Structure 1
Amino acid sequence: MIRKKPRREESLDYAELARLLPAPADPYLSPDRHLLLEEHLMNELQSAAPTPTAPRLPVRRILLIGVPATAAALAGVIAFTTLNNAEGGERAEATPPPVEAPVVRIEPGSTAQLAATIERIAAAASARKTPEPGPGQYIYVKSRVSYLTVSHTDKDESKARVQPMHIREVWNSPDGKQGWLDEPGYKPKGGITLNSDAERKLSAPSYNYLKTLPTDPDTLLKKIYKETEGQGNSPDQEAFTTVGDLLGEQLAPAKLNAALYRAAAKIPGVVLVEHAQDAAGREGIALAHVDDHSGDRTEWIFDRTTYAYLGSRAVQVKQANGIKPGTVLEYTAVLKRAVVDAQKERPGAHGANA
């Protein structure tokens, strides 16, 4: 259960539901049963209302601590399960139970080869051919992902839990006004709409908006700091996170991609990690930054030979919130990025790969 930005929920007649439901036999739940119900409730809450914009990647900073459940809370879970039918899709499929987060060896980062490596990554991005989506087309991104769900349980406060690895597919129009998200097990069956007329900005960009951004690294970084002022745990961490979000479920012009990497090199605290692995098991090098408040390190992973962006990883490097160092809180891997001719269409003979 990854908490997203609050969305308006449909009102429910709880008094009528309470009258129809049988009284629970026992108001107390075991920690394991409560954990499952809590996970299911949050999934239903996320699915119950239309999504106004393409959701930003789940925020790992908000960690859920288990609390005693009551009969009223259980009735609320049943109410959401009974009445929820989110716009844009059928009733949500059963959410897979969370699994224990993997633990890896922490490799120290270094600035020794940072500048040279970023320049090679930027040069490769500049030379890479990027398809230009036209009116009526969609940017398609398919990823393999796993995000933090529950940090603690009543049984063992030292183990973080994450979603099992699963597929996530996103379609977005160039202007950002039409879109679709399909994430089986975490969104209603068939997917949900991402249609929105919201103003485009760095936290909710469209391809057309990205084309307007400056490609001078210093000017671009200044804009990023200005637009994200007051957000996140620190200005530097928020700037790094913002650039990383643009690398995942979007398509950016080649020159802007190169500028983003060169801008990231100027963020204090960025280091090079020689060995990292994405959610698809692909090995590569990583640009990384540690969030001093939460104690985790965000890593952008690149192919060691082509310098193409592969995915991301978040690893706890400092003991915090009861999570031990080496715990992997997030995994992503971009499996396909393309331009297609229709919403929900997957790349094939007519899809231009990015």
Structure 2
Amino acid sequence: MIRKKSRREESLDHAELARLLPAPGDPQLSLDRHLLLEEHLMNEIQCTAPAPAPAASRRPRRALLIGVPVTAAALAGVFAFTMLTGSRGATTAATPPPVEAPVVRIEPGSTAQLASTVQRIAAAALARKTPEPGPGQYIYIKSEVSYLSVSHTDTNPSKAMVQPVHIRESWRSPDGRKGWLDEPGYQPKGGVTLDSDVTRDSYNETKTLPTDPAALLKKIYARTNDESDRDQQAFTAIGDIVIEQLVPAGTSAALYRAAAKIPGVVVVDHAKDAAGRDGIALARVDQQSGERTEWIFDRKTYAYLGSRGVQVKQFEDIKPGTVIQRTAVLQRAVVDAEKQRPGEQGAV
């Protein structure tokens, strides 16, 4: 099968495991049990791994998918090892088993309404009042998310499996150096730190970006390289900023206007976020993976709702129409302390 590799994972020393473990038998596990054990294994690896690199606060992208054939017998053996030795890190809440990925009709994109749609999105962003975090405060984002778990199962290669839609909460300081992530079932119980020396895409860094779309796009392209499609890299870079951050109004409007200048960006009339809200989307197809990333906006207020990744071209075992990732922003706020939620004392 193909498993989504988390940036938090570290490679296992299979030779060492083979030395410590007796030869596994050949248990006949059901598919559900197989997948559940695999999810538990991945969480155990995350908990016992060394402290993650700063980039771990971002969700892994499709480019990080790798082929890892895992037999039920080998998986059961490693699972037994982790249960016997115990985790050296924090306890991880039980990970829900993955579910079959939804498959939707692929709605064609168009550039016919691109200029007018982006103008409405930018105007709405400029009109929206955005709280400005101060020193010692945190940007709180609450989302519903679902990401690809495995691209197929051994028993049914035609079915891609995804995480059930679940809650993800993040806290980040304005300078990006302090933070916390709570994602029950997919992170250690209680959450993990996002403390980092990396300040790119922080609130403070984002508010210094040019508000002229052409100048902003030039700066975005300066971050790309020649290793893959630079236009796709630019589109992804803008998405990384807006998906889980509080962006100043002027910068937000400029980012969307800049995105409209990227070749291949289209409007998709109907797209649903992870919360099931139907909206209009700005989208672009990654020609390498065949995935169309859609940024979804409310069709009346043009507020950003969330994102969706739809496979529009066959890629390995993932068939066209498969929804491989969904997000929905439920709440953005400024709070006075890490782990504090809006409505509690000090929240804005």
Question: TM-score with structure 1 length normalisation?
Answer: 0.88
Which of the numbers 220, 224, 228 marks the counterpart of 1:224? 220
Could you tell me how far 1:24 is from its partner in structure 2? 5.4
Aligned to 2:257: 262
Count of residue pairs brought into register by the alignment: 341
Contact 1:17/1:79 (8 A) holds in 2: no
* Equivalent position to 2:63, from 61, 86, 89: 61
Counterpart of 2:309, as a letter, is A
SS in 1 for 2:62: coil
Pairwise CA RMSD: 2.6
AA aligned to 1:50 is: A
| Alpha-carbon contact 2:96-2:185 (below 8 Å) kept | yes
**Could you give the per-residue CA deviations for residues 44-103 of structure 1, whole angstroms, max 9, x where no partner exists?**
2233333343611221234354624386664444444543243xxx30011111110001
Change (3 A) 1:66 1:155: farther
* Pair 1:167-2:167 in alignment: yes
User: Partner letter of residue 284 of structure 1?
Assistant: G
Is the CA contact (8 Å cut-off) linking 1:270 and 1:289 kept in structure 2?
yes
CA contact (8 A) 1:298 1:312 kept: yes
Contact kept? 1:168, 1:182, Cα under 8 Å: yes
* Residue of structure 2 equivalent to 1:291: 286
- Secondary structure (helix, strand or coil) at the match of 1:164 reads coil
Query: 1:97 maps to what in 2?
Result: 97
Instruction: State the shift of 1:132 in Å.
Output: 0.7
Are the aligned partners of 1:291 and 1:297 in contact in 2 as well (CA < 8 Å)?
Answer: yes
- Per-residue deviation, 1:17: 8.9
- Structure 2 vs 1, CA of residues 289 and 25 (structure 1 numbering), >3 Å: closer, same or farther? closer
Residue identity over aligned pairs, in percent, reads 61
Identify the residue that residue 142 of structure 1 maps to in structure 2: 142
Q: Which amino acid letter does the alignment assign opposite residue 342 of structure 2?
A: P
Give distance in 1, aligned partners of 2:39 and 2:17.
24
The verdict on how the C-alpha distance between 1:227 and 1:106 changes in structure 2, with shifts beyond 3 A counting, is same
Residue 322 (structure 1) aligns with: 317
Report if the CA contact (8 A) 1:60-1:329 is conserved.
no
Q: Distance in 2 between matches of 1:17 and 1:77?
A: 15
Deviation of 1:31 (Å)? 7.4
Other structure's SS at 1:61 match: helix
> Equivalent residue for 1:190?
190
Q: TM-score of the superposition, structure 2-length normalised?
A: 0.89
Q: CA deviation at 1:239?
A: 1.1
Confirm whether residue 301 of structure 1 aligns to residue 259 of structure 2.
no
Query: How far apart are residue 320 of structure 1 and its match?
Result: 1.8
Secondary structure of the structure 1 residue equivalent to 2:339: coil
Structure 1 residue 225, shift from structure 2 partner: 1.5
Deviation of 1:29 after TM superposition, in Å, equals 5.8
